[in-house]
């Protein structure tokens, strides 16, 4: 199965996934304190984690919706 075909067939789900992965990267970098000159605080980490979880749920939902809508059963 060619992965390019899957991503081209579902551009919305692909965009949501990309935003989620970027958010996950930013949250991970912040969690490990790799931002130069930025102190890690609990409220900011909680905000990053909340945004990342919301984007994860949106990603899963968009892929499920895309797969259901592209099935031949409809």
Q: What is each CA distance from 29 to 15, 34, 55, in whole angstroms? A: 21, 5, 17
Q: CA 13, CA 39: separation in Å to the nearest integer?
A: 34
For the entire predicted model, the pTM comes to 0.82
On whether the CB atoms of residues 52 and 24 are closer than 8 A, the answer is yes
pLDDT above 70 as % of the chain: 86
Asked whether residue 2 carries a pLDDT value surpassing 70, the answer given is no
CB count within 10 Å of CB 31 equals: 12
CA distance 19 to 39: 24
Q: Are 23 and 57 in contact (CB under 8 A)?
A: no
What integer pLDDT is reported at residue 65 of this predicted model? Answer: 92
């Amino acid at each position: 199965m060619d992965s390019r075909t899957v991503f081209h067939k579902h551009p919305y789900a692909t965009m949501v996934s990309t935003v989620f992965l970027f958010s996950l990267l930013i949250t991970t970098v912040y969690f490990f304190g790799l931002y130069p000159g930025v102190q890690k605080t609990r409220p900011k980490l909680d905000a990053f984690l909340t945004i990342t979880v919301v984007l994860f749920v949106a990603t899963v939902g968009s892929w499920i919706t895309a797969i259901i809508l592209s099935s031949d059963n409809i």
